[in-house]
């Protein structure tokens, strides 16, 4: 290594490290949002079944996903529920919708 090349590894590391940290943060945020979407979809399914049985989906959704907005959407013989909540890791709005046969067991 010549005298002119001294410190080049340090400079390359200083440039590459923030990029690696940024990519890692983006990946972890994506995984967090995907997990939140799965929980929201499960909560929407439970809320739809609760509504179909004559229960209160608002209380269930508030317990499972705090801060979620609940919209009841009846469609013929189906009792549908749509949940909407802001993602915690990214500036996104997550929505999940599920239906259940009204009066079903």
- Digit-coded pLDDT (tens) for 77-89: 999 999 999 999 8
Tens of pLDDT, residue by residue over 15-50, are 888 999 999 999 999 999 999 999 999 999 999 999
pLDDT for position 8: 76
Among 31, 71, 67, residue whose Cα is nearest residue 47: 71
Measured CA to CA, the distance from residue 59 to residue 51 in angstroms comes to 11
Q: pTM to 2 decimals?
A: 0.80
| pLDDT higher than 60, residue 68 | yes
* Per-residue confidence (pLDDT) for residue 101, from 0 to 100: 94
- SS3 labels along the chain: CCHHHCCHHHHHHHHHHHHHHHHHHHHHHHHHHHHHHHHHHHHHHHHHHHHHCCCCHHHHHHHHCCCCEEEEEEECCEEEEEEEEECCCCCCEEEEEEEEECCCC
Considering only 4-8, 18-22, 56-60, which range has the smallest mean pLDDT? 4-8
């Amino acid at each position: 290594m010549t005298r002119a090349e001294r410190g080049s590894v340090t400079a390359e590391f200083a440039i590459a490290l923030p990029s690696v940290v940024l990519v890692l943060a983006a990946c972890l945020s994506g995984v967090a949002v995907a997990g939140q979407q799965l929980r929201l979809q499960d909560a929407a399914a439970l809320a739809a079944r609760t509504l179909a049985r004559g229960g209160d989906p608002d209380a269930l959704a508030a317990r499972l996903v705090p801060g979620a907005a609940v919209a009841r959407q009846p469609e013929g013989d189906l009792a549908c529920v749509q949940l909407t909540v802001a993602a915690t890791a990214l500036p996104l709005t997550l929505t999940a919708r599920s239906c259940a046969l009204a009066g079903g067991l």
